[in-house]
Chains A and B, each alone.
Chain A
Amino acid sequence: MATYTLTHVERKPLSFTLPVLALAGGFAGLFVGTAQGSALLGVVGGAVLLAILGFVCVTMLDGAKERPARWAITIAMAVAGFLVGSASGAVVGFLFGWFFGWFIYWIGEGRYRANLVPYLTPGQVLWHYTFRVLCGLIFFFLITPIVVVMPLSFNAEDFFTFTPEMLRLDPEGYSLKHYRDFFTSPDWQQALWNSVTIAPVATLLSVTFGTLAAIGLSSEHVPFKRAIMAILISPMIVPLIISAAGMYFFYSRLGLQGTYWGVVLAHAALGIPFVIITVTATLVGFDRSLTRAAANMGANPVTTFFRVQMPLILPGVISGGLFAFITSFDEVVVVLFVGSAGQKTLPWQMFTGLREQISPTILAVATILVAISIVLLATVEVLRRRSERLRGMSPG
């Protein structure tokens, strides 16, 4: 990342600093005020408070002693938060203080222009940061429902409720009992075992068939390529419930309904389109002359595939496999139809658990699954980067 030092960072006039700070303070005050009972009071109080702080920091202290001033704001806000809402209030106050301490100087000293090219108009600068804030909000919107679940899974009670003890950060309000329940209950353990035995086999089948199909479809001499592609992709497009009902009747006739292999095959069928799409995408950049060169040197098609083609399209195969794995691991509709109680997977158990008994054990399981997914994706990404580096495909 290059740093721009062209821009002259200078203190902004108070006629700019104070209204901006008041606006930000009013916005923050809206939340605090609403939580404490009076939104209007919060807005006015927040605006006035921040304007005064800004005035003190920028004008009276003359921008000097920045570090002590910021610490003072942070600690003062944390103490105020503690008085209002004890431990959790203190945490919120600390975060508010820390942020606004930085924000006052960022605005007041004009630092927000530091990393931007100097010829931007104020409107462009505003848009630059508005865009960032919007992106942040979208990110927040996507991630909050997942994050909210995590503290709730440590609830000491059997409900999806933030109890007063939890909000006070009282250790009494937290417990690991839902995790204990997950690891000791035979129902959950059976479901976990089923998921763990079904998903990898389904993934293996999807990856094998999907990759073969993608390679076949990318060679020039296959007739009706588009039609075949459309049919193979259809499990992804047809509403799941329709595939599920169809599979139910079809598999019943074949005697596969309610068996392990029935569920594996159904999940493989759902996973194949993901593999086809990702592998087809990587094959676009694959140079056909490489296979011809390999053949020219005496390699048979199988050797060519494993030694030449496969390593080059591996990223596509792996990401397709990941999608296929996650499809099988998350899938609840098809397994409800095609499986019987003996093939109850984790999502099935979560689904019945949610319907019949709202128990935070579901949240504990969700938290564990999220953690596993993060570890899994991170591992794959690290391995991918490592292999790229080893093969000299990317710098660093």
Chain B
Amino acid sequence: MKLTKTLMASTALTVAAGAVLAQDMADSMTLVSWGGAYQRSQVNAYADPYKEMHPDLEVVWDESSAEAVAKLRAMDEAGNVTWDVVDVVAADALRLCDEGLAMEIDPEEHLAAAPDGTSAEDDFGDLLVGDCFIPQIVYSTTFGYRTDMVPDGVEPPSDICSVFDLETYPGKRSLEKRPINNMEWALLCDGVAKDEVYDVLATAEGQQQALDKLDTIKDEVIWWSAGADTPQLLADGEVFMGSTYNGRLFSVIEEQDQPVAMMWDAQVFDLDGWIIPANLPEDRLARALDFVYFATDTQRLADQAKWISYGPARQSSAPLVGEHAELGIKMAPHMPTDPENAQNTFLYNYEFWADYRDDIDAKFQAWLAQ
């Protein structure tokens, strides 16, 4: 009897506490993301279910992730931070964290544990880079090629070095207009062993070696700067092969039915996730933390993979990845992390690029202009 009473009282208390908490949270929230199919997957997997739980909440999306660092700096300077939760790539999260523009996160306190009780810290594992970054997905930058442009009697390209092989695979290529990834691929195909790539790239000779290798295909390269460029160029038949994010290629191949195929070799893994701007007012902070706790739990991350072919950042989400919400195809084989696709992968080296980016960027741009 006494036990029941205690239980009831504590339930009532919890409910009351919950109500108080809900009142303390802001009733509108601005989420910042990348637009396009990726943002749609977030709306479907996170924002819509969250809104169902909180019908009074107004959610505004801002497609400004591409200039999140600059905009957050300006907002901070103007003393008027209007964003609540911001989706950025890991490298940007590290920069924002260093500059004190993003809030530090304690995984144990701010993130949900896995359903089997594994702590968030272990569930995310190595992907928790920096102190402010809340990982969402693993994506990769990889190549797609036009299947109808493969020359007769030649095997379709399956090796990263076919990008540099103009004799066997003639045609234009599209590469991103920045050194990251391109320099690594160039060295890999110039005989440098995979685990030595960054050691070589740290030297001036190594950088020159990479640029020299890129020089052999420079005339055949169309440089892209937005993720949508390569899909458009591939669909146009303007390029034979091109690098872009694997989700974009998935969309071109499976959703748009274009004659394009993936070449997963030497795909470069990168992370994307949330940060919460530093120094938010209390009610907005409470809302942001509540949303992030919900949106990064095991089920939500697995749900996102129904709409886009990016791998969930939690280990516990992987077995829950199901079928595409509209096409009904199994999503697991399209994940960059699928064992079949991940036979030869490359992990983007944050530390290296943090140290060398400015220097190599300058050399790369100078080389481009030659």
Contacts and interface: CB of A to CB of B under 8 A. Distances in A.
Nearest to A163: B235
Interface string B135-147: 0000000000000
A357 B226 CA distance: 8
Nearest to A187: B61
A159 B248 CA distance: 13
A226 B313 CA distance: 63
Contacts of B82: 257-258, 340
A353 interface: yes
Contact of B63 (A245, A258, A342, A352): A352
B344 interface: no
Interface residues of A, number: 23
B14 interface: no
A356 B228 contact: yes
A380 B268 CA distance: 57
Interface stretch (A21-29, A246-254, A300-308, A381-389): A246-254
A342 B59 CA distance: 10
A159 B226 CA distance: 15
Contacts of A354: 226, 228
Nearest to B77: A249
A253 B63 CA distance: 24
A253 B77 CA distance: 11
A355 B228 CA distance: 7
A358 interface: yes
B226 A356 contact: yes
A161 B35 contact: no
A157 interface: yes
A258 B80 contact: yes
B34 A157 contact: no
A98 interface: no
A245 B228 CA distance: 28
Contacts of B64: 341, 352
Given A157-B235, A159-B231, A340-B82, A356 B60 contact: no
B236 A161 contact: yes
A170 interface: no
A253 B30 CA distance: 20
A357 B228 contact: yes
B258 to A, nearest CB: 8
A352 to B, nearest CB: 4
Contacts of B79: 252-253
Of B32, B63, B231, B236, chain A has the most CB atoms within 10 Å of the CB of: B63
B235 A352 contact: no
Interface string A133-163: 0000000000000000000000001111100
B227 A159 contact: no
Given A253-B78, A340-B30, A356 B227 contact: yes
A253 B80 CA distance: 8
B21 interface: no
A47 to B, nearest CB: 33
B66 interface: yes
A358 B233 CA distance: 11
Q: What band does the interface of chain B fall in when counting residues whose beta carbon is under 8 Å from A?
A: 20 to 34
Given A157-B256, A340-B30, A340-B82, A358 B35 contact: no
B78 A252 contact: yes
Nearest to A337: B74
Contact of B35 (A158, A245, A353): A353
Contacts of A245: 74
B191 interface: no
Interface in B25-51: 30, 32, 34-37, 39
B235 A161 contact: yes
B62 interface: yes
Interface string A160-185: 11000000000000000000000000
Contact of A340 (B34, B36, B62, B235): B62
Given A159-B231, A159-B256, A356 B78 contact: no
Contacts of B256: 157-159
A68 B30 CA distance: 70
Given A161-B236, A253-B78, A257-B80, A358 B231 contact: yes
B232 interface: yes
Nearest to B34: A356
Contact of A248 (B66, B74, B226, B231): B74
A341 B64 CA distance: 9
B105 to A, nearest CB: 24
A54 to B, nearest CB: 40
A127 B61 CA distance: 58
B63 A248 contact: no
Contacts of B36: 356-357
Given A248-B78, A253-B78, A357 B35 contact: yes
Given A159-B232, A159-B236, A355 B226 contact: yes
Contacts of A357: 35-37, 228
A358 B251 CA distance: 12
Contacts of B60: 340-342
Contact of A352 (B35, B75, B227, B236): B35
A358 B30 contact: no
Given A252-B78, A352-B63, A356-B226, 8 more contacts: A161-B236, A257-B80, A258-B82, A340-B60, A340-B62, A341-B62, A341-B64, A355-B228
26 contacts: A159-B231, A159-B236, A245-B74, A248-B78, A249-B77, A249-B78, A252-B79, A253-B78, A257-B78, A257-B82, A258-B80, A340-B30, A340-B82, A341-B60, A341-B62, A341-B63, A344-B62, A352-B35, A352-B64, A353-B35, A355-B35, A356-B63, A357-B37, A357-B228, A358-B229, A358-B232
Interface of B: 30, 32, 34-37, 39, 60-64, 66, 74-75, 77-80, 82, 226-229, 231-232, 235-236, 256
